[in-house]
Amino acid sequence: MNKKIVLRDDEMPTQWYNVVPDLPKGLRPPLDPATNLPMGPEKLAAVFPMGLLEQEMSSQRFIDIPLEVMEILKIWRPSPLVRANNLEKALNTKAKIFFKNEGVSPVGSHKPNSAVAQAYYNKREGVKRLTTETGAGQWGCALSFATSKFNLECKVYMVRVSYDQKPYRKSIMQTFGANVVASPSQETATGRGILEKMPDTPGSLGIAISEALEDAASRDDTKYALGSVLNHVILHQTIIGLEAKKQMALAGEYPDVIVGCCGGGSNFAGLAVPYVPDFLEGKKIRFVGAEPASCPTLTAGLLAYDFGDVAQTTPLLCMYTLGHDFIPPGIHAGGLRYHGMAPIVSAMVEEKIITPVKLQQLECFQAGVLFAKTEGIIPAPETCHAIRSVIIEATREPEKPQTILFNLSGHGLIDMASYDKYFAGQLHDYDYPEEAIARSMANLPKVSLS
Ligand SMILES: Cc1ncc(COP(=O)(O)O)c(C=O)c1O
């Protein structure tokens, strides 16, 4: 048995895969909130470069990865596919467990796969400065790294609770030359307005997105970058699944179950969607998306048109949502605290291709500790959700010979304060109250789904 299956640099995929033309019912378009009519790329050109907008709306199945992007991805890609045989043994299961280790990237997660591409297309169109939000800090680090490679300025609005919990993420961003502020901040009208009403708010991705968008819209030299949710982000992340397909074939295996954690949906979809054409041709694959019980977008949210941010500045996206003004509690998987879910993932849940599951934070940390002791990698708290889900799948019928593939979306070496709290008994399980979800849902825009 090979523990690791690695590809040579020249075996790295040269094209991304766009799942949108293969989705059986397609995707509902983004809407202009002023008219509730489909929104064309012109309106979005103030905040995104055309190269990315073309990808966002593309109906082409494969899109070439620019050579400049490939050169930077080669710093850590192709990422290894690893057999978690030690975990299998500890679980006493006949299931074979494989994972893609995205924790080997320069900042420790899958996020640079899209950050590098986004920085490239912005640079190509003469943009000088990018703004963004970050939840766990992983996306902010990724964009800081990518902008440093293309000599762009970078401003990161970091959700307050993560800013306080993860000081080293801030240090990493500063090392790459980015300017980081806690969100809500005094630097935007949105931030000031929220701080006036809620001075102690932990912040949310929805608020940080509003601040980053406001900043980008107020300067000609600046555009905005989003780390998840959008079609082009998922497109860039498909390199994970495209590599995995080659590596699983080298191992002589095919996955029966594919698992990922879901924040905005990008790492899960990046691994999963390259398998969708096989699924549609009849291959039996169970796709499992794991989310926290404290932010249960797919399991307790509604499929609806909603804003991506609190200040209602984004187009309306058709997605599972908990409501754009939902502020989740300060759980220790900051990257999973988003009210919405990628339209691509949402469509696949609606079409019953993906099975969503919700998990409590303590069982996830327990799974992460077992993974660290068996496989030697301390996973990010977000990734612990995928691992917990894998353990449930592998032990439900331990005698069943099945192959499980999951995305190790990031390592947790900068998240040790969260592990410390877990060991000190200071973390608690939390189901977001149904009444609070209902309150936030009452503010959804009134647009019917066709
Ligand atoms: C390590 C890690 N995994 C998963 C996620 C969730 O994001 P997504 O669902 O877009 O992959 C994040 C987000 O910050 C993250 O940092």
Across residues 252-264, what is the average pLDDT? 98
Quote the ligand 1 centre to 36 CA distance (angstroms): 30
The pLDDT, as a whole number, for residue 448 is 87
Answer yes or no: is the C-beta of 381 below 6 A from any ligand 1 atom: no
pLDDT at 311: 87
Q: What is the DSSP string of 122-142?
A: HHHTT--EEEEEESSSHHHHH
Q: What is the pLDDT of residue 330?
A: 65
79 lines ligand 1 (CB under 6 A): no
Residue nearest to atom 1 of ligand 1 (CA): 410
- Average of per-residue pLDDT across 251-259: 98
Q: Measuring from atom 13 of ligand 1, which residue has the nearest CA?
A: 335
CA nearest ligand 1 atom 5, residue = 335
Task: For CA atoms 267, 414, 72, 308, give the dihedral sign.
Answer: positive
- Is there an atom of ligand 1 within 6 Å of 162 CB? no
* Residue 295 Cβ contacting ligand 1 at under 6 Å: no
- Please tell me the predicted confidence (pLDDT) of residue 335: 81
Distance 242 CA to ligand 1 centre (A): 19
Check pocket membership of 265 for ligand 1, CB cut-off 6 A. yes
Spatial distance between the Cα atoms of 191 and 182, rounded to a whole number of angstroms? 10
Q: Write out the two tokens for 341.
A: 């879910």
For ligand 1, say whether the CB of 263 is within 6 Å of any of its atoms. yes
Give the mutation target among 378, 409, 413, 415 for probing the ligand 1 site: most ligand atoms within 8 A of CB. 409
Ligand 1 within 6 A of CB of 185: no
334 has pLDDT over 80: no
Q: What integer pLDDT is reported at residue 305 of this predicted model? A: 97
Q: Identify which of 204, 205, 336 to mutate to test ligand 1's pocket (most ligand atoms within 8 A of the CB).
A: 336
Ligand 1 centre distance from Cα of residue 310 (Å): 20
The whole-number pLDDT of residue 331 equals 65
Q: Which atom of ligand 1 is nearest to the CA of 138?
A: 16
Atom of ligand 1 nearest to the CA of 108: 1
The residue extents of the domains of the chain are 4-8+64-108+231-441
356 lines ligand 1 (CB under 6 A): no
Q: How far is the CA of 301 from the centre of ligand 1 (A)?
A: 19
Residue with CA nearest ligand 1 atom 15: 335
Q: Which atom of ligand 1 is nearest to the CA of 270?
A: 11
The overall average pLDDT reported for the chain is 95
Judge if the beta carbon of residue 346 lies within 6 A of ligand 1.
Answer: no
CA 283 to ligand 1 center in whole angstroms = 27
Question: Over the stretch 3-19, which tens digit does the pLDDT of each residue have?
Answer: 999 999 999 999 999 99
Give the right CATH number for 4-8+64-108+231-441 from 3.40.50.2300, 3.40.50.620, 3.40.50.1100, 1.10.150.240: 3.40.50.1100
C-alpha 99/C-alpha 387 separation (Å) is: 10
| pLDDT over threshold 80, residue 328 | no
Cβ–Cβ < 8 Å for 389, 359: yes
Distance from Cα 345 to the centre of ligand 1, integer Å: 14
Mind listing the pLDDT tens digit for each residue in 47-88?
Answer: 999 999 999 999 999 999 999 999 999 999 999 999 999 999
pLDDT of residue 415 exceeding 80: yes
Q: What is the pLDDT of residue 432?
A: 84
> Is residue 395 pLDDT above 70, yes or no?
yes
Mean pLDDT for 156-179 is: 94
pLDDT tens digits along 145-163: 999 999 999 999 999 988 9
Quick one: CA dihedral 437, 438, 440, 444, positive or negative? positive
> 38 near 30, Cβ under 8 Å?
yes
Kindly state if the Cβ of 101 falls inside 6 Å of ligand 1: no
Q: Residue 275: CB partners within 8 Å, gap ≥ 6?
A: 241, 245, 255, 258, 283, 285, 287
Q: Of 36, 38, 17, 18, which Cα lies nearest the Cα of 28?
A: 38
Please identify, by atom number, the ligand 1 atom nearest to the C-alpha of residue 237.
11
Mean predicted confidence (pLDDT) in 432-450: 87
For range 331-359, the mean pLDDT: 92
> What is the model's pLDDT at position 329?
72
Nearest atom, ligand 1, residue 229 CA: 10
pLDDT of 171 strictly over 90: yes
Instruction: With a cut of 80, say whether residue 333 has pLDDT above it.
Output: no
207-249 tens-digit pLDDT: 999 999 999 999 999 999 999 999 999 999 999 999 999 999 9
Listed residue (305, 293, 322, 319) closest to 389, CA to CA: 293
pLDDT for residue 434 is more than 90: no
